[in-house]
Structure 1
């Protein structure tokens, strides 16, 4: 050990989660809430399911997507994608050690929101 390492102690000066880690955690939660809200709106916007029982009871169905709910869900997916990319950028700047967490949930958020935005953008253009 060098004199500097002995003066600093064990070399790990972190005392626990600092403000940046708490901010990253809150941004993670916010991204997941945005994604779940957007997915719920997209689920409510999809056409009614046509089954044999529905045809038997002659229940009227709406075969079209609800464009109003899609217009709300697309900006939510876009903001989830942008916020998760921003949070991922903060994570890359903050974590410098090999033992720091990878935050795989951010990569999943980017993937899910980008795919959902891509799929639903074609539906809202119709």
Structure 2
């Protein structure tokens, strides 16, 4: 049996646009965090670098790590607010579930915890 209910929504409202903007901002901050983490993380210890006695940095850069935390938490907050707005805004089964925003939230929180563990391990050694 076909669903014959008429779609009454004519256009997207302000809340829908806000959800889209929050999702784009969250993913944009995540990409920016990838770039910042490339410069903040310790350098890889390759055999060729050891052979040529090239010094490598084995610690996290503290100022960039602080910025990285801020960017990651802003990305997580953006995705969290997007999920909260979506929960109260979506009422139909046919509405999108926004699994990408949930994935972004899980990845950013796990990334922050990974960085905390890595920094604490480098301070112990």
Bigger radius of gyration among the two:
1
Show structure 2 runs of 5+ residues with no match: none
Give 2:34's aligned residue: 39
State the Cα deviation string for residues 3-58 of structure 1 (Å, max 9, x = none): xxxxxxx5321113222211111110000011111122122111111111112222
Match of 1:5 in 2: none
1:56 aligned residue: 51
Would you say the 8 A contact 1:70–1:124 is kept in 2? no
Partners of 1:48 and 1:103 lie apart in 2 by: 36
Aligned to 2:82: 87
CA RMSD of superposed structures (Å)? 1.6
Q: 1:78 aligns with which of 70, 73, 76?
A: 73
- The counterpart of 1:119, out of the listed 92, 114, 118, is 114
Gaps of 5+ in 1: 1-9
Residues 29-88 of structure 1: CA deviation (Å, up to 9, x unaligned): 000011111122122111111111112222221111111111110111111111211110
Q: Secondary structure at the match of 1:60?
A: coil
| Aligned residue number for residue 6 of structure 2 | 11
Q: TM-score, normalised by structure 1?
A: 0.84
Please give the secondary structure, in 2, of the residue aligned with 1:96.
coil
* Alignment of 1:69 onto 2:37: no
Counterpart of 1:96 in structure 2 is 91
Q: Structure 2-normalised TM-score?
A: 0.84
Q: How much does 1:92 deviate?
A: 0.7
The count of residues paired between Structure 1 and Structure 2 equals 117
